[in-house]
Structure 1
Amino acid sequence: MYTISSKRFGGALVAAGLVLGAPGCDSAEPGIDGDGDGEISLREDPWGTGRLNTNFLGEDESYPLNALPLVDDPTADTRIHAVWTTRCVDRNLGVTYQNELFYTSDLDGDLGISVVDGALQPATFKKFGDPTVTCSVSGNLWEKTVWGVITHDAVGDHNHYLMLIDRTLDENSFPTHLWGVYTGQGSPFMDDSYTPTCDEDLDPNLEIGTLQYHSYLVEDLDVDPISGDFSEVADQFFIACRSGAVGKSVAWGYAPWEVGGAVHELATRAVRADYCGDGFSYTFEGNPIQVQDDFEINTYDNNLLTDEAAWDLETGAATCVTMPREAIYQNGFVAIACEGGEVTLPACDSGLLGAAEITTKLAQ
């Protein structure tokens, strides 16, 4: 998911003739105005893919913008007010619209947007000024769409403007997306007016300019920022940056639409060295590990490396730890204590390693 801090982007969103309706507005059509706070900025969370781990979960610590709701709830802390596009297709008439404004809005109660297997599905948009004219947005037409998000906190309402700049396939042919946040400078319908919402993926194996700032869309997912627990929440999607563990586990091959949510959650804990399954990470970003699993996704390159841990679906955590991957925990290491010291994880043996769905080895 994208990350947010207290740093602000200055400037206002300006688009002549368009007005963003506030929550509860009964206007027939949404628009965009100049009252966007621009309060989204980036937190440093570099990690790198391949087998370089991270301790960063991928959660927003300032605003609840990790999961975006797809059905309007006026009482919610986060709402997608509207999505705008200047490109769409009327497949019945065989007409392609270019440089005309279309929208879908929470004023209708349902945005009509859904995510399936990590990809945005086709949605119907209405023409601004003549909502009887409709068209469809699907596939690469989702690129350059502008998303108006309203968040609420003790201070009041805040307007945020995001653009889906790029959508492509990753190394595993999973859909991945580049999101940007409006900088307050330039046209809101030009992608160079946006800066990436995700921090950079520092994987040295990536070609420059490919997927460094991309993320995955995980339908019906919510992640507890303290415990790291996954839960299913209908009618929303989670934006999982590749620079955070929730997204990195997908990049490693553990997409929930392929292996299920429980495996995705377990893999996320393995990425973070969350041995006890309670949200505490025993690593820092950049530590290399090797991974093997029962799902024919990953196998060890070198079986002679030191065992780190075995990860079990039944417990949702590690069942044993031979040696933690982070150097500061290795000196004089005896065991990992969980549940307030009441449970001690043993060193791994062949039985525990063989029973686990995912195992990890130290790569250095």
Structure 2
Amino acid sequence: MRRLTAASRIAIPLVGALALSACSASGQDNTDSLQVVANPVAVKPAVSPAVTTKPSGQVLATPAVSAMATDEKTRTLAVAVTQPPSILVYDLDSLSTPRATVPLPAPAESLTTSGGQAIASIPTKGELAKIALPGGQLTTQPVAGQPTAGVADGPDTIVAVRDRKAVEVLAHGAVTKTITGQLYSADDVVDTGQGVVVLDRLRTAVFSVDVNAGTMGEGLRAGDGAANATSDSYGRVLVTDARAGALLAFSVGPLILRQRYPVPGGIYGIAYDHQRNLAWVTLTGQNQVVGFDVRGGEPTEKYRFPTVRQPNSVSVDDRSGRVLVGSAAGEGTQVIQP
């Protein structure tokens, strides 16, 4: 992995590694070195103003979007919409209309794709929905608690379970491991290829997970309001800090904060273009999407486009470089060619 160091003008001290003995069971002990406030609250996206600049590119008519992801193997875009709860399956090379609509029992909170399959988390129903791509065949997997994110790891599925403060490993429909410890809330899980990291929005922190050993590893503060995370081409985890307005980069093995770059405007959603090494982030406070080159010592802005209102979700087509932005306000799914 290429190890990067942030420029001195954006370097910040870490608040601290975990002090396990200081964390109470309720997660409210002020001696905890990772805790920011006495009663932590998970961050929400900044509310978008009305659109005053025409969104770039093409806008597809869709209901409110809660999550989206692309699958390069099948050249598919999967879009989770809230009303009615469903997954819209598009051909990335012909985006005019969805090729399939897959009904869900309730809105999906997150959506990931891998090798011809989409995984949607449905925390209000305690289910993962698995959608075969590109056809849209649906199977559901019950999960004890509120599954907030699931990622494929070979034949296994790694699942973050919010209310149970756990990461579970599922194989062939059965739980093979339940990993707990140190979390206040398990809200997202990222597999970097060099390690697994879970995002805790309530504690605004990231934790390494040793899936093979079934243990929770070290943890670090992730700004003042960690919102969303993805992996990049260097085995790092990129995190949006929606409260402080920053893009964070963590290396894994061990978990180290490498960069903290200021991004004002309500940073929230994030996606990564592995072909061009661009991190795309949405600014919900400004109705914009911004592309940063992350190959150097600090991110370098390359693109900035006006978007649909409330651009909470973003994804990327690695082959073409197109950026897909979803409006949580029901104003469509945007397709931008940089």
TM-score (norm 2): 0.26
The structure with more radius of gyration: 1
Which has a greater percent of helix? 1
Which has a greater percent of strand? 2
